[in-house]
A and B are shown apart, each in its own frame.
Chain A
Amino acid sequence: MGHFPNGWLHYLIGGLLIGAGTSLIFLFTGRVSGMSSVFTTTWSYFSDSPFFRQAKHLQSRGWRLVLAAGLILGTALWWWWLGPREASKTTVPAWQLLVGGFLVGYGARLSDGCTSGHGICGLASLRPPSVAAVITFLSTAIATAHIVAALGGR
């Protein structure tokens, strides 16, 4: 299959598992599990800035960190059970991880959502702002990746 040189089933199963996780959390707690908010709410532990001290951030900072810990735990479980023996490594240059990460953090918080918040949760809620955000970030991400590749980068 030309569009799926590495197979397709593991992608679909992985996606269904992610959906099972967000659905379980919603059914029992009513919480929407976007993953970018924790990068703002966690600053409320260290900063007195009024933005970080907003009630909505103080009230959700605990469970958002628990959710992030769950993500690490889930991957660790996969590594132990099904993963390769050696640690996962990336060949993406350090500066790209740092600068790209900065733009990811700034942009996701300005937009109030990321691939999970606008992507999975926002689309699942049928919210027009999230649909617009997903179309926008997919477009700029695809363009950026092509430009980097054309310049000979990763």
Chain B
Amino acid sequence: MKPASFAVILLGGTLFGFGLAFSAMIRPEVVLSFLRLEDLGLLLVLGGATGVTMIAYQLIPRLSKRPVLESAFDTKATRLSASTIGGAAIFGIGWGLCGVCPGPAFAGLGAGNWMLLLALFGIFAGAFVHGRTTRV
């Protein structure tokens, strides 16, 4: 990848992180209050983010053969399987227990929430066990 691509990814990630902080998603308490259906704000965050991204993902490949800096658009090719659903179920149980998902686990550190290092450690450990128990 070109150096300029890394710069754009850093900038895009910065917007992403700023949005997570602005919408209070870096606070596990706010996520848990959504999951207890006390404050439905998370749906607006997910809806707003998905809406903008959908316009980009659907429109840009129709207007241009390749991204500005690289040779091709990524296409994620997960097929629906028992792992997709089983993994999502396990992910949800963990998310409901701690109120932290992968984005905010990183982003929250930027606001000095060091307790999130515990969640980050847990996520890395979970991904390690997954990798070591999955055949290539």
Contacts and interface: CB of A to CB of B under 8 A. Distances in A.
Interface string A26-67: 111111111110111011000101111010000000110011
Contacts of A34: 76
B95 A88 contact: no
Interface string A60-99: 0011001111111111111100110001111110101111
Interface in B81-136: 81, 83-103, 105-116, 118-132, 134-136
A17 B53 CA distance: 10
Contacts, number: 535
B133 to A, nearest CB: 9
Given A33-B12, A50-B136, A62 B88 contact: no
Contact of B80 (A35, A38, A124, A128): A128
20 contacts: A11-B41, A12-B45, A14-B48, A17-B18, A28-B67, A28-B70, A75-B18, A78-B22, A101-B122, A102-B125, A104-B126, A106-B129, A109-B127, A111-B87, A113-B78, A119-B50, A120-B53, A123-B50, A133-B87, A142-B96
B48 A15 contact: yes
Given A30-B74, A148-B97, A75 B109 contact: yes
Interface in B1-59: 1, 4-6, 8-30, 32, 35-42, 44-58
B62 interface: no
Interface of B: 1, 4-6, 8-30, 32, 35-42, 44-58, 60, 66-74, 76, 78-81, 83-103, 105-116, 118-132, 134-136
A13 B22 contact: yes
A141 B43 CA distance: 14
Choose among B29, B53, B70 the residue with the greatest number of A CB atoms under 10 Å from its CB: B53
B33 to A, nearest CB: 9
A10 B22 contact: yes
A38 B18 CA distance: 19
Interface of A: 3-6, 8, 10-36, 38-40, 42-43, 47, 49-52, 54, 62-63, 66-79, 82-83, 87-92, 94, 96-130, 132-134, 136-149, 154
A86 to B, nearest CB: 8
A114 B76 contact: no
Contacts of A73: 10, 13-14, 17, 110
A6 B21 contact: no
Contacts of B109: 72, 75
Contacts of A51: 131-132, 134-136
Given A87-B113, A125-B76, A129-B78, A15 B45 contact: yes
